[in-house]
Amino acid sequence: MRRACYDARMRGRCPEPNQPVTRRHRRRTLQYLLIFIGWVLVVDALAGEKGLSATIQARRQYRALNESLSVIRTENTRLRDEARRLREDPATIEEFARRELGLIHPGEKLFIIKDAPASDPR
């Protein structure tokens, strides 16, 4: 091994035992550091506060809220139309009064029909 290291030293590949940190060590350390920083950035991009998983969840929430907003807008349009008809259309007002308030016109007779219990067929 000494002979191999001696030959390598002569060609500049094997560092001296007491030689300070060489350019090769610095380069290798820098490569490891860059790889580590790259992995940290990848992990942060996937699972960080504004990473891929958070973005996917935000998009899902946006779609759900958008659908909810669409349903509410449709309901709002229906209610506005109903309110306009109640202000302007006498037939709608009458139908509402009969249905919701149980009102009848003067002279009309109200018949309440109750179901009779079934008789025993003995």
pLDDT surpasses 70 at 88: yes
Q: What is the mean pLDDT of residues 16-44?
A: 84
Q: What is the mean pLDDT of residues 77-103?
A: 90
Overall domain count for the chain: 1
Determine the length of the chain: 122
Give a yes or no: residue 16 inside a domain: no
pLDDT surpasses 80 at 14: no
Give a yes or no: residue 46 inside a domain: yes
Give a yes or no: residue 17 inside a domain: no
Angle at CA 40, nearest 5°, toward 38 and 22? 55
Amino acid, res. 31: Q
Segments forming the whole domain that contains residue 33: 25-101
Q: What is the number of alpha carbons within 13 Å of residue 65 lying toward its C-beta? A: 6
Residue 49: per-residue pLDDT: 80
Inter-CA distances, 11 with 15, 16, 61, Å: 10, 12, 64
3-state secondary structure 23-66: HHHHHHHHHHHHHHHHHHHHHHHHHCCCCHHHHHHHHHHHHHHH
Give a yes or no: residue 55 inside a domain: yes
Give a yes or no: residue 13 inside a domain: no
Residue 12: per-residue pLDDT: 57
Residue 110: per-residue pLDDT: 79
